[in-house]
Structure 1
């Protein structure tokens, strides 16, 4: 698929991971605060955000099928253009439906972007080293993502506090920077990522082939999940995890705003808080990789997910803004700690033919789960309090550890070296 060596592919993978996530750091919590500043209620905010989950639910598997059948690079380029459009739409959104449109475009982007870059890297490595585990690269990716997100968030908070353009909201400049950096990422993807076309035919012929192949790829991916209990459990983990994530990504800025009495003040606080969170995410990701080496992928993943959920509970129980941010920092470090082991387990269950599809199945469940539970958490917050909704979300997220039990049982009965991709890629043998 590519002539790059594993070392060169890893370098491209880490560079593009950084340029992809650096812009996101500038808007951590900002979209939510802008919507509230422009008059939306908590219930409306959690409801309009379901547009993102709905679009991912509708498009995740078809777009990942295109990635597996047509190629990773074309999907990533289209995704980059859609992301730019979503950022521009958020800048000019004022009503509920305009915010919903912006979130829908972001959902299209997430569906296109979910999986192809990782799939491209893993398949490149497996060309030279078949079946090699890649959790160390995923750990390094987590470190760089955390540093990029943290750096972007820190600068974002500074921009909000600076507020150089007094005739507009202090929250808008970070979104403008987000759009500009998304353009940089699109250019970097076009220049750095190289992939041999899946066939020698013209683009129209390859597209026609991908249309015919996509249903087969999607069908095989779904069949693999239904026949592979380990993979089914790993995918189900996302449903529990997203409930906790809704608390510390959507509800946390709103609760901070309530405690501080101003969306602009909350935006200025969110910058340093998110920067610290993503810095600790990097530390957690590094520790998660080391824990996976020492204790195994399943124990490391379980421990990280359970502690992450308990961190969300703590965020709901604290009483002041400083304590809320402290709990947020701990929770984000635990978020990073669970990711390398979890992604390593996911890659064990996939092959080159369906890797993007398998990764997208997890993202699909996460986004669909967020689309369903987000409005419910918003309703609970409106009827009780944001703090209560956060405690409930964290408690439910913690229960998701049971989904790792099939992987745990297989790991106890079969040595790790026997769990090669070739042993599980056929649904009939899983």
Structure 2
């Protein structure tokens, strides 16, 4: 039972499971597109196949969040990991457009189920063990673990490809085989480490949870309507989803423009991405320091502005070294800002609706990212990629004022607590 675990034990289990969740992804990212090309798909077919993931996530994100709130994090994460394992196993042998589209559709189911429950379990379990616990430290460490896992996976993937084919398994397929094994390890670890106090499961409980999921989603939207703070925090994701296309989509084009050779730019991006993920891990590790020095909401607001500045650097610096330094700095800021944002979000959510609200927060970034890709691509075609990146930088930075409601709410809460403490000292009675 989670009540038998200390805050430290809960955090350690969360970090282990979080790292195992992202290590297979780090292995996949460097080789997946090349693997699909090796199996005969055109870039258009690859885009359509990968697009299946986004469609499925958009359709299932909210229902699965409500389902996790109703049934519990553990069963949803178990199903998610099984689906993820099946999708990776299919990727090892998939050699047609239809099979690869099925792989990415299954990955969409995995992502929709996986989005939120582990983090919600960590926060809920931590508060159950100690209602006054500062769980932001664990969220920051989780961001660091994510970055380290992605970097380690990318390095391992590159090493496996460099070793060449292993028997009938091509060099590009080898990292996927290892990712399958690691996904199985993650499933076993999940079964062993993630425990939670929920009502007894069964067919009746399952039917009840399915019926309750839409209500959970509806009440999560009700929280947004009633809370200006929560609504503003979710709105931040709209700006971030739009602006992230600058460093996820436009940077390779910008680097190729600066270097003058797309092949050389691609060669530089491999190690640069590894360093960027390590920088993201370092930024996430600074989360507790930022909270102590600045406070969560002011720190998050400042980082949105700084991230916009780093994108300006990518757009305006002339040489490849300058562009890549700005890119790495952008990821360091991203690693630090995400735990702050998620910590503020969790502070506004009651336990029963935590997964649903996280799903809403996650979901709004997807259409914003699609819009950002279209708009910034259009601007890049008409006015140049540097101009498009400047537009994205402005969008990232103007989200900063949306943290003001959370900052005011934190100050009001601190003032009320201080006032209650003073009254207690004068009267000698505990506050009611």
Q: TM-score scaled by structure 2?
A: 0.84
Aligned-partner SS, 1:354:
helix
Cα distance in 2 for partners of 1:381, 1:165 equals 43
CA drift at 1:289:
2.2
In structure 2, what is the equivalent of residue 392 of structure 1? 391
Change (3 A) 1:177 1:385: farther
| Deviation per residue, 1:247-286 (Å, 9 max, x gap) | 33344456657758567x7666444222211221122112
CA drift at 1:67:
1.0
| Contact 1:86–1:105, Cα closer than 8 Å, also in 2 | yes
Shifted more, 69-78 versus 266-275: the winner is: 266-275
Matches within 5 A, 1:10-409: 10-28=11-29, 30-32=31-33, 40-41=42-43, 49-88=50-89, 101-164=102-165, 171-196=172-197, 198-200=198-200, 202-253=201-252, 269-378=268-377, 380-381=379-380, 387-409=386-408
Shifted more, 276-285 versus 323-332: the winner is: 323-332
Cα distance in 2 for partners of 1:173, 1:418 equals 57
Aligned-partner SS, 2:352:
coil
Change (3 A) 1:383 1:36: farther
| Contact 1:83–1:106, Cα closer than 8 Å, also in 2 | yes
Change (3 A) 1:161 1:153: same
| Contact 1:280–1:333, Cα closer than 8 Å, also in 2 | yes
| Greater relative contact order structure (CA < 8 Å, 6+ sep) | 1
| Deviation per residue, 1:180-238 (Å, 9 max, x gap) | 32222122112221223x323x5211111101211221111110011101001111111
Change (3 A) 1:307 1:65: same
Change (3 A) 1:363 1:417: farther
Cα distance in 2 for partners of 1:128, 1:416 equals 26
Cα distance in 2 for partners of 1:382, 1:112 equals 37
CA drift at 1:336:
1.0
Change (3 A) 1:372 1:165: farther
Change (3 A) 1:174 1:127: same
Change (3 A) 1:27 1:261: farther
Q: Which runs of 5+ in 1 are unaligned?
A: 420-430
CA drift at 1:156:
2.5
Cα distance in 2 for partners of 1:384, 1:157 equals 36
Change (3 A) 1:79 1:318: farther
Bigger-Rg structure (1/2): 2
Cα distance in 2 for partners of 1:393, 1:96 equals 33
Shifted more, 169-178 versus 138-147: the winner is: 169-178
Cα distance in 2 for partners of 1:148, 1:245 equals 21
Shifted more, 292-301 versus 271-280: the winner is: 271-280
Change (3 A) 1:65 1:194: same
| Contact 1:251–1:390, Cα closer than 8 Å, also in 2 | yes
Cα distance in 2 for partners of 1:260, 1:174 equals 31
Change (3 A) 1:161 1:108: same
In structure 1, what is the equivalent of residue 425 of structure 2? none
In structure 2, what is the equivalent of residue 424 of structure 1? none
